[in-house]
Structure 1
């Protein structure tokens, strides 16, 4: 009996195919019915991008362009609407000029803007001012869009005012609060903290003038706690102060020293501790949002509007840059109110109704973030196909429940049990492998469900096994990251109430509070939090989550509601963007505002699993004792379409033809086009030659690696992990960064890369002072701009001064230095060659540093491979609808067959003329 086989070779730009009739009983009678190549009809831009190695992927390029178009369009729409409203209300005439024209007119509109808050200006001039305000509307907080590197909003104007009125420092004010029994201390503006540092320095300098020199002052600026102590150790002859008492008593003592430091002479040990504390506070107050907060404070204390503040700078120097000076949205609203109230005294046209229209509907209107629910995948189990009619055509559409967020408490627990059911222990001596029983699983679950991940050693210690005699098949067990974040916040709330931690926690006043670092068991931590929360009037039911509750009771439980509120809350119109959230947390769970501010800092990743909550809840009762596939079966699901029985396959109803994928259904236009071409090809072949009994697809790198390759890969991963951990320890110890982010590690690695160049950056050849490394003076720059080549790898990054980076703009590093002059470009080339020769930078980075903008796109990039893999996997899923057998192969098999059949040279011979034309033929 013959078997019809369709072979597909899926590539980015084309699909190779062959329809073969195979005779298993007599292979010599097998024959090729038809073969060919189908070229994917990419657009000109897409084709060029792929041929050049895609300097920017199609969807990424489309996203960048769309984002720019939308921003520009929204601004133009606001401007057009504003002009229209002004004309309708006789504030603006057709003949009025809106641009600065004539001599000495530069910054004229900025001058009018500043003037409009105090005195009368013409209506046409007011129109120009409103159009200027419309151009930049200020920063408006969004919890979901916030970046971890932005820092923290400081909402403490009342505190700053009190410091100003009482001529007090943050240290003095904090000590007063602690003396009054207050536990929670406010946030302070960076400028107030810097003023305290200077005040302490100048006061103590009268006693230690020979030691507190200007050079020492400069050296201490921008330093963290540990670095401050290191700098002061020698001139102060420090040995360190050993504080005694409770954590709260130690805290009070430190603020007592800060309070006394501006009134009395301190000994060197106490003075060093004061400088450490202030510098630590200064480091914590830095960041993008901290800078915005400080600008807002400047406006408040100088009784200025944004326009007055900016024009004052222009008066001092017309070359002042205004571009990167960001203010709160509320500051612009206050300015608008001020200008309107002033000008409405002179013009009856400026009514209250018109103000509300211009303010709320035209200039400052901002819709909420667009819902992305339509892009969330459908659960692989809870779905069905329906027929829908669109434009007179009947199509099949998959509908069903959406998949659950990965941060959901249900997903987090479900994921842990999946891993635990694959966990095994191996005896190193006998080599016997033992699966673990439910009691062991439960004890491990209890820990990782609160404290986060556990290493293999920690897992063995937990169940009482020796690491010298046993090993596990996992390097680490991933835990409940949602609970880890929540419990860390819970412990911070308790600490800020002045409540002492248990001795088992082994935490000191200098330690970062993080639940994963506490030595006590998860059970003790949970009991401790429950007891203290009960005393604080906080609903302790938030600590209990039951994934097996039925019906609506599941979503009504407090723990689930707390997660959902923190996960889904987007922000409000308050300066902090969280005032409504604080109210809800108080009303629902009993958290006071100071508690809620800690909870609001938690950020959950906007990522999704592959199952809906309903599917996971049905599987959950079985997942504790059974592997995923078995648990799915008990719940009535088949987790693998490719594992159907012969009977199930025979009884399957196959599709007559495959449906074209709807536009934008995959959010990747390139993949979508290739898969639709594959669908068209399969449909056409099936119509012409009959439906294939089997389809074989060539996959990219889907065959498993051999033992040696796996060992090499594991070794490389382990080396990188160990090295990164060392960097983390250095950043914590020497730079005082408590929780180094990925960007912090990259920044430090880029800094070390410059060691052979005397730590001088590649663009200006100026030394990067260690204390400035983690300040906004330096940026991580992409050698080849992301807008031109979407490459976020380490080999495309360097450390550069902020000014140089802004000046470089959209140029490659090479083009930028070439524009700076021949001398600089030659010096740059010599430096990078020296770094490459010494092994300080990789070949990839060396080549990118030499790349001109005109050369971008030459060469293959890794994204092609990932696209190919994705296309192949998705195609298997689609093709299973038209045949019962879909088999994947690897490109390595094709290479092997090409060699075995001596087709390598044949291909060269066929392409000989092409090589001749390109001058690539050897004589």
Structure 2
């Protein structure tokens, strides 16, 4: 008897089943216990993980903590500044250093602006310094992310000066440069480009006054190049005439039109191009950083400081927001120096040079460099080890060794390329042409080429080296690119990779080299071959006097740090920024000195930023493995040659036999994995497995079988695509249900199979709703009859594939006749090759047409063309051999516990659940509960069977379904997986007899390509031992326990399964708090509150009257009648209600409704209760205080009296909110003017 643990691992739950599996006929399998552990993730955690988004569990907390730290640092600077000002007699404890009293709103701003040119007192000077200390300006960090969204910093003051002095526009200046033969064009400030736009608009408006309206101008503001053309197209009545000029001549013509537009009339086609190009430039220079650069330029030309600029803005509009008006840090420094020097003229004794340096450099503008975060970088799995250390008297495990390499490192980029190249396989059929290309290799000349014999092969070494050269400077090569590069007939071949990623680091550098080369008047085409590009760059750089050693990277050098290309990468990667406005000046100077580039070209290189991520190995390990990869060995073999153990699966049988397994799993240390969701899932798995082992009634299993949720086996991009696909399918299925419930289909109960059938029907729309094999028309009325079947293109007896891509609709008689043949073979045999409406030729034309129009997916198209001899093996093996991080990690952890760990898939679990009749068990367990709630339906279907249905049923409403899946997984033998993986091998071979495949001892992770692929004898042997045919002659897997007993035992255990839910949202946790004292630090262990007490915004609540006019109906019970406003009506209604035993339905509806049986208010019956009465009730309204400003929404003001006063104020100022609600100090709003 073998004890098996089955695990169903999901994103937020773990189902487990411990079973005894019989190993011979004398033993009987049994269920020991089932269970479910629910790990409730937050909504964001689960959705983001499933959608493939980055996990930001604590992003909000981190952001808030960052804000608190910034505030605390500002307060500390303020504290230090006030202290030093007091020490030097600027202020005392008494003065108020902020605005205080009437008419002082902008007093500090006025003092700050005044201090530039006039004397202010030391106390006022202190206030100015405190204001500068509060906002110190933007300091560039070149490694900061998000630059694409924020725009770019522009350092073009010299160009701006020239434009100003010579009264030129950017277009005029660029035309001059191009006429002088210069190709490098400078960047311009947004304000200069906007000024050119305005000048051209004003001039052209003289000729097109009716077209160039102010409204159109406003619509064009800050629009992209494409959007500008779209907006202009209709009013200009233009279609876009093709241009005859190209390249540099086209650019020159554009600038010539821009120059001409300043003084002459342009035709509307040309004017649209001019506006389009200027707006395109404005759009490129826009954004957060572009606006900062523009403000700095304004300060220079207006000869203003930051304070003077802000005061001018406030003088023009007192309501202007200064909060987001950001300037360079250098602009604030300049202002500080100007003000200090000016005030030093009046306060020479107090304002010394030493004090200036202390306040400026130590207090206000001091900013330490970023702390090194190397401690957060992971350790190399091959060049690290764990040691035991003692910290605070406790022994802890610490990892030491080499850290992992940056992904952008040239060494890692080449390593990654070769790792992929060694996994490439080319596949094809037949003999290929021997036609030679100029640089092609001699391929397919050998009659023993594996591609000719087996239909596929790995790449030869010379092919890999050719690809490695191409990929060394390119971002990627697609499958098509690779096949064209290597082979003469690429259209007849296929590759096992859609694309191969190249050297991203070199790709970025060469893109910069191209820009430099083009600006020097040369041409570089990056679409050419790598060898041509390298040769061209080397020649041009050599002629220009630049260092050509940076072009190529030599990974074989002994001293990597001295390689010129590596040094350039490291310089660009590690430079954090300097104190210049753009943060790049020192880097530009360094590049100029080291490599000979002019400053303007060095700036192009300095703007490169690399991927901020890390690989999984250290540079030390990579340098040991890399030589063997370059020889053409796969990664695992290269690791072995380098002396590393690639994985636990690479252990020999002898090593596995002698291996000492753990008695329990260790918890993963906090933050040991990059993904917090994965860490939570795996730690919950550890808790579950350890709890099972620790339970004396359960104990340690002999083998573990595991199924991973599909989200866990996919990478972020695949999860993103999966979620998108599911959302789209859900939306479409909802539409299909609505269609099927209406004529001509009129279905009452719409099952999942009905939706699949309808989707397959719509797939045939472009074929006139004719089937693909027999070309038979399917009418809407016959679609759901028994005349047509959902047919498997590749029979399930040959390929375990029940996906949509393996299904189509066909006549039932044709489906029966087709039997176990593939679609292609059947059509060819039944209808012949040609000369027939349903012939093979016409069949191929039909599917070709549907494929080209996008109706058929590529997968379905290939299956419709597939012959029996082309049916693939290893269908299941590809799904099991998942390589995603969590799958590998989970199996690696479990392999430390038991000798055998077997993976299975959801498809196999579904098949076995169906064969063992476990599908409806969850419905049966929940039937009574749903029936009592009135959520069930019973009906007779078209075949006359009585159907019981739970409305809107989903098994996910009951966590126990995870335990049921785990139970199926626990009884999933390796032979089941092998059989389903090799269905096509079942065809009988005369030379092979049926073998009796017995249980074998397998290595850990043992499912590999070799032991998954079986011959006919072995597959039929498994079929004989493990499968039987049911009453419909369908093959079923034997259940581990006789079927009726198995269902009964499964139901019993599921009924008694208790769901374990992980506790969340702890109120307090135990913490060690440290407090300072005169001599050292106090340590105290105490409970610390966790989490928010309430949300950030606190609302008030109050009761408000709600008056309604309501019809008297069955809702008028005693409580409702109490809200009737008129006492006479209220009393009369209560009397009527009491007459009918307080039953409002009897009292006020039917024959007793007020229209049929009125309620009279007097004996003369002259007055009665109306059909509608006025009710008054209280409703809770939530309120928040808002300041009176131009943005205030008056309809939201609760107090009706205050609302009227504000509305009257608005009318006084002709509904101009800015004027009405501005400058309230000088022009206050008085609730009672008389007072």
TM-score, length-scaled by structure 1: 0.71
Pair 1:545 & 2:553 matched: yes
Partner of 2:99: 100
Partner of 1:849: none
Q: Which has the larger radius of gyration?
A: 2
What secondary structure does 1:389 align onto? strand
Pair 1:77 & 2:73 matched: yes
Instruction: Say if 1:386 and 1:397, in contact at 8 Å, map to a contact too.
Output: yes
Partner of 1:628: 635
Partner of 1:701: 710
Distance 1:216 1:681 in 2: 67
Question: Aligned pair in 2 of structure 1 residues 294, 704: CA closer, same or farther (>3 Å)?
Answer: closer
Q: Tell me the C-alpha RMSD between the 2 structures.
A: 4.3
Partner of 1:523: 531
Question: Aligned pair in 2 of structure 1 residues 914, 378: CA closer, same or farther (>3 Å)?
Answer: farther
Instruction: Say if 2:49 and 2:55, in contact at 8 Å, map to a contact too.
Output: no
Question: Aligned pair in 2 of structure 1 residues 557, 119: CA closer, same or farther (>3 Å)?
Answer: same
In the TM superposition, residue 298 of structure 1 has moved relative to its aligned partner by 0.9
Q: 2:82 aligns with which of 66, 79, 86?
A: 86
Deviates more, 1:611-620 or 1:881-890: 881-890
Pair 1:136 & 2:135 matched: yes
Partner of 2:572: 566
Pair 1:194 & 2:222 matched: no
CA deviations 1:802-829 (Å, max 9, x no partner) are: xxxxxxxxxxxxxxxxxxxxxxxxxxxx
Distance 2:920 2:182 in 1: 83
Instruction: Say if 2:184 and 2:520, in contact at 8 Å, map to a contact too.
Output: yes
Distance 2:269 2:910 in 1: 71
Pair 1:641 & 2:640 matched: no
Instruction: Say if 1:396 and 1:659, in contact at 8 Å, map to a contact too.
Output: no
Question: Aligned pair in 2 of structure 1 residues 909, 264: CA closer, same or farther (>3 Å)?
Answer: closer
Distance 1:24 1:395 in 2: 43
Partner of 1:359: 360
Distance 2:587 2:309 in 1: 32
In the TM superposition, residue 523 of structure 1 has moved relative to its aligned partner by 1.6
CA deviations 1:296-351 (Å, max 9, x no partner) are: 11111111122221222222222212232222121222222233333344444444
Pair 1:618 & 2:624 matched: yes
Distance 1:668 1:464 in 2: 42
Partner of 1:390: 391
Structure 1: tracts of 5 or more residues without a match: 506-514, 721-868
Q: 1:652 aligns with which of 659, 677, 680?
A: 659
Distance 1:315 1:171 in 2: 34
Distance 1:24 1:268 in 2: 87
Question: Aligned pair in 2 of structure 1 residues 894, 716: CA closer, same or farther (>3 Å)?
Answer: closer
* Matching of residues 601-750 of structure 1 within 5 Å: 601-624=607-630, 625-655=632-662, 657-666=664-673, 671-672=678-679, 675-680=682-687, 682-683=689-690, 685-686=692-693, 689=696, 691-701=700-710
Distance 1:637 1:201 in 2: 70
* Matching of residues 148-547 of structure 1 within 5 Å: 148-177=148-177, 182-200=182-200, 202=202, 222=222, 231=232, 242-243=244-245, 262=262, 277-347=277-347, 348-427=349-428, 432-499=455-522, 501=523, 505=525, 515=526, 518=527, 520-547=528-555
In the TM superposition, residue 175 of structure 1 has moved relative to its aligned partner by 4.6
Instruction: Say if 1:78 and 1:363, in contact at 8 Å, map to a contact too.
Output: no
Distance 1:26 1:354 in 2: 95
Distance 2:371 2:161 in 1: 38
Distance 2:906 2:233 in 1: 62
CA deviations 1:158-185 (Å, max 9, x no partner) are: 2212221222333444455556665533
In the TM superposition, residue 352 of structure 1 has moved relative to its aligned partner by 3.1
Partner of 1:768: none
CA deviations 1:422-441 (Å, max 9, x no partner) are: 33333356892243322222
Distance 2:561 2:608 in 1: 21
Question: Aligned pair in 2 of structure 1 residues 467, 562: CA closer, same or farther (>3 Å)?
Answer: same
Question: Aligned pair in 2 of structure 1 residues 199, 885: CA closer, same or farther (>3 Å)?
Answer: same
CA deviations 1:728-786 (Å, max 9, x no partner) are: xxxxxxxxxxxxxxxxxxxxxxxxxxxxxxxxxxxxxxxxxxxxxxxxxxxxxxxxxxx
In the TM superposition, residue 528 of structure 1 has moved relative to its aligned partner by 0.8
What secondary structure does 2:472 align onto? helix
Pair 1:113 & 2:123 matched: no
In the TM superposition, residue 578 of structure 1 has moved relative to its aligned partner by 0.5
* Matching of residues 19-34 of structure 1 within 5 Å: 19-20=18-19, 22-25=21-24, 28-29=27-28
What secondary structure does 1:425 align onto? strand
Partner of 1:582: 588
Partner of 2:1195: none
What secondary structure does 2:473 align onto? helix
Instruction: Say if 1:10 and 1:871, in contact at 8 Å, map to a contact too.
Output: no
What secondary structure does 1:111 align onto? helix
> When the two structures are aligned, how many residues end up with a matched partner?
746
In the TM superposition, residue 211 of structure 1 has moved relative to its aligned partner by 8.2
What secondary structure does 2:710 align onto? coil
Distance 2:368 2:425 in 1: 52
Question: Aligned pair in 2 of structure 1 residues 99, 912: CA closer, same or farther (>3 Å)?
Answer: farther
Partner of 1:874: 889
Distance 2:227 2:711 in 1: 50
What secondary structure does 2:902 align onto? strand
In the TM superposition, residue 281 of structure 1 has moved relative to its aligned partner by 3.3
Question: Aligned pair in 2 of structure 1 residues 53, 412: CA closer, same or farther (>3 Å)?
Answer: closer
Question: Aligned pair in 2 of structure 1 residues 346, 716: CA closer, same or farther (>3 Å)?
Answer: same
Distance 2:389 2:188 in 1: 59
TM-score, length-scaled by structure 2: 0.54
Partner of 2:606: 600
Deviates more, 1:461-470 or 1:477-486: 461-470
CA deviations 1:695-748 (Å, max 9, x no partner) are: 34442128999xxx99x989979x99xxxxxxxxxxxxxxxxxxxxxxxxxxxx
What secondary structure does 2:578 align onto? coil
What secondary structure does 1:549 align onto? coil
Question: Aligned pair in 2 of structure 1 residues 545, 36: CA closer, same or farther (>3 Å)?
Answer: same
In the TM superposition, residue 577 of structure 1 has moved relative to its aligned partner by 0.8
Distance 2:531 2:54 in 1: 51
Question: Aligned pair in 2 of structure 1 residues 914, 603: CA closer, same or farther (>3 Å)?
Answer: farther
Instruction: Say if 2:48 and 2:55, in contact at 8 Å, map to a contact too.
Output: no
Distance 2:386 2:353 in 1: 55
In the TM superposition, residue 241 of structure 1 has moved relative to its aligned partner by 5.6
Distance 2:656 2:239 in 1: 82
Q: 2:898 aligns with which of 883, 889, 896?
A: 883
Deviates more, 1:445-454 or 1:264-273: 264-273
Distance 2:711 2:46 in 1: 24
In the TM superposition, residue 540 of structure 1 has moved relative to its aligned partner by 0.6
Distance 1:58 1:194 in 2: 38
Distance 2:678 2:256 in 1: 64
Instruction: Say if 2:385 and 2:400, in contact at 8 Å, map to a contact too.
Output: yes
Distance 1:170 1:153 in 2: 18
What secondary structure does 1:109 align onto? helix
CA deviations 1:138-161 (Å, max 9, x no partner) are: 222112114212222110112212
CA deviations 1:204-242 (Å, max 9, x no partner) are: 777888987767766765566677778589679985664
Distance 1:871 1:122 in 2: 67
CA deviations 1:459-507 (Å, max 9, x no partner) are: 22222433443333333232222222111110110111122x27xx4xx
Instruction: Say if 2:119 and 2:343, in contact at 8 Å, map to a contact too.
Output: yes
Distance 1:271 1:669 in 2: 55
What secondary structure does 2:382 align onto? strand
